[in-house]
Structure 1
Amino acid sequence: MMGWLWAVQVILFAAGTGLGMSDARRKSTEVRLPLWVRMLISLTLTAAAFALWRDDPASSSKEWIFWGMAWSFIGDLSMAGIIPWRHPMIGGMLTFAVAHVFYIAAFAAALHHEGLDLMNAGLAVVAVFYGLVLIAAWLLLIRNPDAPRLFNIGSLVYGLWIGAMASAAAAMAWSLGGALWLTAVGGLLFVVSDTIIGAAAIGGRLLRHQGYWVWLTYVAAQMCIVYAFTL
């Protein structure tokens, strides 16, 4: 089943890219995946995480991955405006922050299963790296004196929380290695994706085809995190 879901997601993204490019040429706009493609990819990723958990119901790490993906799906619905929030970005940050709690729990559980601890040298090294990079990115790309204070402070706190998740993913890979290095890649791609969003939505620094690059890095990040536990 995992192979089929993975193939469906790749096909959906490729088809969405084609549709987005065609629409952009016709309307002279940015390339963007259609909304239905974005939501369907997110939904099938949630289904894949659920199937992974149900294939191994005793695995707490796989259960937490499912809940993380489920909350990510809610975050996608929020950012798309399907779930109404007064400020969709704030709603998205809140729901994705919950998703990252579950991802961190999954990484800690995977280490605990092997008799290891999340608090290791890998975590310390990568946490310092991500902390410095994310603070620099916030200062240079995201912070905007003209934006509401809530957005500026919220984006900094949320960015550091993403860094914590990415650091936990790297710490797990540091200890367990193998295919779980994909989770470290996923954490890094999450940082890239959300930095692009923050720089555009708050900092006003637009990247050409920004929406497309956000989803390319975001989908790759989620696939790395979900499917690493099947390998």
Structure 2
Amino acid sequence: MSNLVLHLTSPQRLWLLGLLILWAMLLFGGFAFGSDPEKRYRRMPVWTRMASSATLVLAAWSWWLFVQHTGAGNYALLIAVGMSFGFLGDLAMAKLLPIRNRVAGGIASFGIGHLFYIAALVGFGNLVGLDDAGARWGSVAVWWLLGLVGWWLIVYRGQDATPLHWAAL
């Protein structure tokens, strides 16, 4: 576990903190100033959504750059790749990528990103000794069951089944 202690320099910490603050400003500022009083909704403008997502990608790749030769290097790399796929999904859903089916492309990109997050967390769990197969697969089964119930309640219940419903599963 001691090899996971990140000894970031003060400038590195300040850089990551600055990116976190910028991300928060873009995210919450976008909600605050992105409202349309006539339509009564709060929606972030596209530029703040994309900029907040890009800021997270920059932070993830910066963190990997800072820790690539430590015990956290592989974990940070997988998180950065996952964040990059999430950003591609955001770009697709915002109609900023020239793809024919933006919803399917966005869902696929988010899904690939989540596979990288899962790989990062499994690797981290192995590194710190959280590798009991029964506990791991038991928790996966519980979360899959909760996800299935949530999908049924939110997406599927009372609807005619379409390919998009099954893709959301």
Query: 1:39 pairs with 50, 68, 73, which one?
Result: 50
Distance change (3 Å), C-alpha of 1:41 and 1:51? same
Deviations 1:150-178 (A, max 9, x none): 2122111xxxxxxxxxxxxxxxxxxxxxx
Deviations 1:169-199 (A, max 9, x none): xxxxxxxxxxxxxxxxxxxxxxxxxxxxxxx
The alpha carbon displacement at 1:20 in A equals 1.6
Between the two proteins, the alignment pairs up a number of residues equal to 150
Partner in structure 2 of residue 49 of structure 1: 60
Larger Rg: 2
After superposition, the CA RMSD in angstroms is: 1.8
Deviations 1:82-140 (A, max 9, x none): 1133332211110011101111111122123335427351x334323322222222223
Partner in structure 1 of residue 144 of structure 2: 131
Distance change (3 Å), C-alpha of 1:50 and 1:14? same
Distance change (3 Å), C-alpha of 1:51 and 1:135? same
- Higher-RCO chain (CA-CA 8 Å, sequence separation at least 6): 1
Kindly provide the amino acid, as one letter, of the partner of residue 154 in structure 1: A
The alpha carbon displacement at 1:75 in A equals 0.6
Deviations 1:26-80 (A, max 9, x none): x324210010000000000000000110001131011101000011100110111
Conservation of the 8 A alpha-carbon contact between 1:108 and 1:118: no
Percent identity among equivalent residues?
29
Conservation of the 8 A alpha-carbon contact between 2:27 and 2:52: yes
Partner in structure 2 of residue 80 of structure 1: 94
Kindly provide the amino acid, as one letter, of the partner of residue 61 in structure 1: Y
Partner in structure 1 of residue 10 of structure 2: none
TM-score norm. by structure 2 comes to 0.80
CA distance in 2, matches of 1:114, 1:132: 26
CA distance in 2, matches of 1:57, 1:118: 27
